[in-house]
Structure 1
Amino acid sequence: MLHIVLVAPEIPHNAGAAGRLALATGSRLHLVKPLGFSLDDKHVKRTGLDYWKDVDLHVWESFEELKAAADPAARYWYLSTKTTRAHWDADFKDGDYLVFGCETRGLPESVVQAAGDHGLRIPMVDGGTRSLNLSTAVAITLYEAVRQRSVVSN
């Protein structure tokens, strides 16, 4: 199983889309507070449609709480525009956590710097855009991990 982690997500549509992606890939979705919306928000449910109730969802008060509850051997990959290693250069394994920051600020630069080789970015052409939509970034990274692991059938 892969883990999708959204740290302080602000937009309910992105959480709903990430939930749908989690369900489609057999992944677990972790939301780390503060959330910029209520989980009862109609936008979260609308994006996840009738799937939301089936999402393997865990909500945490902090990222530290999530890490304390996780397998100590778990690996974390931190997605950011503030690093240079491409997401496809990671060697994803079962049990990995794909960690994404909030839509307006991303992950703190200190977290990304401390991640070293576990800091990843989705390559983009220079001057094309400053970042991708959060749920788009989740989809790109998650499906690269799925592709490497070849666990989802056609």
Structure 2
Amino acid sequence: MNIVLHEPEIPANTGNIGRTCVATNTKLHLIEPLGFKLNEKELKRAGLDYWKDLDVFTYDSYDDFLIKNPGAKIYMATTKALKIYSEVTYDPDCFIMFGKESAGIPEDILIHNKENAIRIPMSGDIRSLNLSNSVAIVLYEALRQNNFANMQLQGQLHKYKWE
């Protein structure tokens, strides 16, 4: 799986998303400009000691991302979509894109990706969920659809045994 952040602004969100990506063996793609530097303290704090294990790629622009990932199946997560995120089928190598915290994915990108635009249902007039929460919700649905391939499916106690 691949998570794409289009111009993320808040380092703590990106750090949390990076940690989620490490926990799920998911690649993280960052499209510039970023609202922070990749060596910022807040980014590393949110990602804890997992950031060093993250498979992360950066791109100068959305066009640069498209050029370097030809033929990629990209889902666009946006509050403006007509489809719910659980109504699509995710391939194991698909890309799920999320926009910046203040504005989402630009509409000039969304208009060309109507069939791949997805949303998380929400009540009322709330603008959006937190970016790192949104990534986790959609990513885990995509992983579930792929039977959590190559993931640990059972936990274990330290002092006791499950009977």
Structure-2 residue corresponding to 1:20:
19
CA contact (8 A) 1:82 1:109 kept: no
Structure 2's unaligned 5+ residue stretches are 154-163
- Note the C-alpha offset of 1:110: 2.4
- Note the C-alpha offset of 1:141: 0.5
The reply to whether residue 143 of structure 1 matches residue 140 of structure 2 is: yes
- Runs of 4+ that moved beyond 2 A: none
Structure-2 residue corresponding to 1:104:
102
Greater Rg by CA? 2
- Note the C-alpha offset of 1:148: 0.4
- Note the C-alpha offset of 1:113: 2.2
Scaled by the length of structure 2, what TM-score is found? 0.89
Looking at structure 1, the residues matched to 142 and 93 of structure 2 have their Cα atoms a distance apart, in angstroms, of 11
User: For 1:14-62, what per-residue CA distance to the aligned partner results, in whole angstroms no more than 9, with x for missing partners?
Assistant: 1101111111111100111000001110000000011101100111111
Looking at structure 1, the residues matched to 134 and 107 of structure 2 have their Cα atoms a distance apart, in angstroms, of 18
Equivalent positions of 1:76-115 (< 5 A) are: 76-115=74-113
Scaled by the length of structure 1, what TM-score is found? 0.94
Structure with a larger share of its residues in helix:
1
Task: Give the secondary-structure state (helix, strand or coil) at the position aligned to 1:114.
Answer: coil
User: For 1:62-116, what per-residue CA distance to the aligned partner results, in whole angstroms no more than 9, with x for missing partners?
Assistant: 121111111x332000010111200001100011000010000001122222112
What is the identity percentage for the equivalent residue pairs of Structure 1 and Structure 2?
Answer: 41
- Length, aligned pairs only: 151
